[in-house]
Chain A
């Protein structure tokens, strides 16, 4: 079954304690990205990756890091979480082929709800 898997789904942590949210996709997609969802703001892109070892900032990258060492995995790292990073996080992947039948269509994970105290 084609899917994007995120872990953990729920996490409560404290300010400054490093954490990693993992993301894995089994569709051989080149494009992966992270979004955060906040009330009244919709989803905003944090980071994206066009392929292995190719990552770039989205609209709200401050406080986050990512890596793309393998095509299927795209972890989100919070080196020193702060309360303003309390949010619902979504990982997404796409074939990214411009003009292809699935152009722009993102496949989302189920979301990871993070609370930073």
Chain B
């Protein structure tokens, strides 16, 4: 069963609009890590953020922000004032304590298309 669900397959926005990517995860572990990776058209995977399960503080980094809510098992990602360079596939991923720490379980990804 998929442990990380990204229900949005594709989101299209016009430049300067905000876009929020949803991520819902499933785990029985009390200790786990959540990640977001970006995959631009060139294909490489770029690490964006890691959160551990004990830190529910929201985080902002430039135009990126993340909303972690354990009560709803969600770790959503918002891009503010989107730009064409934000066009990419974004993956949410989970690493569990009971699994090997290096194993990430990925969602299916959300394609973000930003048009000028």
- In the complex, how many residue pairs between chain A and chain B have their CB atoms under 8 Å apart? 68
- Would you call A58 an interface residue if the criterion is a C-beta within 8 Å of the partner chain's C-beta atoms? yes
Query: Which of chain A's residues 15-70 have a Cβ closer than 8 Å to chain B?
Result: 31, 33, 35, 40-45, 48, 50, 58
Residue total for A at the interface (Cβ-Cβ under 8 A): 28
B: number of interface residues (CB 8 Å): 25
Q: A42-B109, A43-B91 are in contact. Are A104 and B44 (CB under 8 A)?
A: no
Find chain A residues with CB under 8 A from B45 CB: 90, 108, 111
B33 surroundings in chain A (CB, below 8 A): 103-104
Q: Which of B38-61 contact A (CB under 8 A)?
A: 43-45, 47, 50, 52
Contacting residues, chain B, for A88 (C-beta < 8 A) = 43
A92 CA / B107 CA spacing, docked (Å): 17
Q: Knowing A42-B91, A43-B91, A90-B45 are in contact, say whether A103-B109 is a contact too (CB < 8 A).
A: no
A96→B19 CA distance, assembly (Å): 33
Q: A105-B50, A110-B44 are in contact. Are A43 and B106 (CB under 8 A)?
A: yes
Q: Beyond A42-B108, A105-B50: 14 further Cβ-contacts under 8 Å?
A: A33-B102, A40-B9, A40-B108, A41-B108, A42-B106, A43-B104, A45-B104, A45-B105, A98-B101, A104-B104, A105-B35, A108-B44, A110-B44, A113-B43
Interface positions of B (Cβ within 8 A of A): 4, 6, 9, 33, 35, 43-45, 47, 50, 52, 91, 93, 95, 97, 100-109
Name A's B-contacting residues (CB within 8 A).
31, 33, 35, 40-45, 48, 50, 58, 88, 90, 92, 94, 96-98, 103-108, 110-111, 113
